[in-house]
């Protein structure tokens, strides 16, 4: 078995067993191409079970997230059907190793998007936008990783919760948002934190996925990236994001 396959299995097994593993590349020496090859191979393991590919997530598209995790490159990961958590429903804590949550904006596409799509073309391909929460969960011990580590680990993708789908023909470039846990405000921010405007995250998603030979497809969801630092979550909590004009998305952390 190649080293790429071996690491992919290691990370996939860690995700299934909900147990942390040591970093595969603590010094950050692995090339990004190899790291994305590990990611692709680990997703292939999920697809070989009964999961379906449903979209893309972007990472480190805000300064807040870059500063929190000490990484300053935009990365992307692959979303599968098993990662979607029902809005308003309990999400079992036992599914995760050491989960965190962050407020995001989600897109759903009505058209395929080429890698060279402009912001205007990207917007024209958007069916709807929604307030969303991402549950990230690194498979690495202590939630610590180098850039190639986190790329290989599918950008810490673990779960996502989508709020109501809204008309994208409105200005969503600077919408206020509040992340609360058990009714207490934990983070306050704006969609403008996402690359200045979340549409830029969709343009980057189109470019990066097409370069990987998997151009964005109609029906896919694209998570634009956390607008604020992420917060740890614990069993019993109620987590919600409230976004100006778009409404809210929430879930309970089950046992």
How many residues are given for the chain?
255
Distance CA 232, CA 67 (A): 16
Q: Of ligand OOG, Mg ion, none, which one does residue 96 interact with (CB within 5 to 8 Å by kind)? A: none
For the CB of residue 65, give the shortest distance to ligand OOG in the complex, in Å.
Answer: 4
Q: Which two tokens stand for residue 51?
A: 């999961």
Q: Does 134 bind Mg ion (CB under 5 A)?
A: yes
Q: Of ligand OOG, Mg ion, none, which one does residue 246 interact with (CB within 5 to 8 Å by kind)? A: none
For the CB of residue 92, give the shortest distance to ligand OOG in the complex, in Å.
Answer: 20
Give SS3 for 83: helix
For 80-226, where are the alpha helices, taking DSSP H only? 119-124, 147-152, 198-211
Share of the chain residues as helix, strand and coil, in percent rounded to the nearest 5? 30, 30, 35
Q: Which is nearer to ligand OOG, 41 or 227 (CB)?
A: 227
Q: Which is nearer to Mg ion, 11 or 83 (CB)?
A: 83
Q: Does 226 bind Mg ion (CB under 5 A)?
A: yes
Interacting positions 4-23 with Mg ion (CB under 5 A): none
Of 37, 52, 61, 38, the closest CA to residue 223 belongs to 61
Measured from each CB, the residue nearest to Mg ion is 134
Q: Of ligand OOG, Mg ion, none, which one does residue 198 interact with (CB within 5 to 8 Å by kind)? A: none
Distance CA 89, CA 179 (A): 17
List residues binding Mg ion (CB under 5 A): 134, 226
């Amino acid at each position: 078995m190649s080293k790429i396959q071996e690491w992919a299995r290691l990370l996939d097994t860690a995700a299934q067993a909900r147990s942390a593993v040591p970093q595969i590349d603590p010094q950050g020496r692995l090339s990004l191409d190899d790291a994305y090859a590990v990611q692709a191979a680990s997703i292939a393991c999920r697809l070989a079970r009964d999961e379906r590919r449903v979209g893309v997530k972007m990472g480190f598209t805000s300064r807040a997230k870059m500063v929190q995790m000490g990484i300053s490159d935009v990365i992307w990961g692959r979303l599968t059907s098993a990662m979607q958590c029902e809005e308003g429903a309990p999400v079992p804590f036992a599914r995760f190793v050491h989960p965190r949550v962050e407020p995001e904006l989600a897109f759903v596409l009505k058209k395929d998007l080429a890698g060279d799509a402009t912001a205007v073309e990207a917007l024209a391909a958007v069916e709807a936008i929604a307030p969303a929460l991402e549950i990230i969960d690194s498979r690495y011990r202590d939630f610590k990783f180098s850039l190639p580590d986190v790329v290989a680990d599918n950008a810490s993708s673990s779960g996502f919760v989508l709020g109501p789908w809204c008309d994208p023909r409105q200005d969503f470039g600077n919408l206020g948002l509040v992340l609360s846990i058990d009714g207490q405000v934990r983070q306050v921010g704006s969609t403008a934190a996402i690359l200045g405007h979340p549409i830029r995250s969709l343009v980057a998603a189109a470019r990066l996925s097409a370069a990987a030979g998997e151009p964005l497809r109609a029906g896919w969801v694209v998570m634009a990236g956390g607008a604020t630092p992420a917060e740890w979550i614990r069993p019993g909590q109620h987590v919600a994001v409230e976004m100006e004009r778009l409404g809210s998305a929430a879930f309970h952390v089950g046992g």
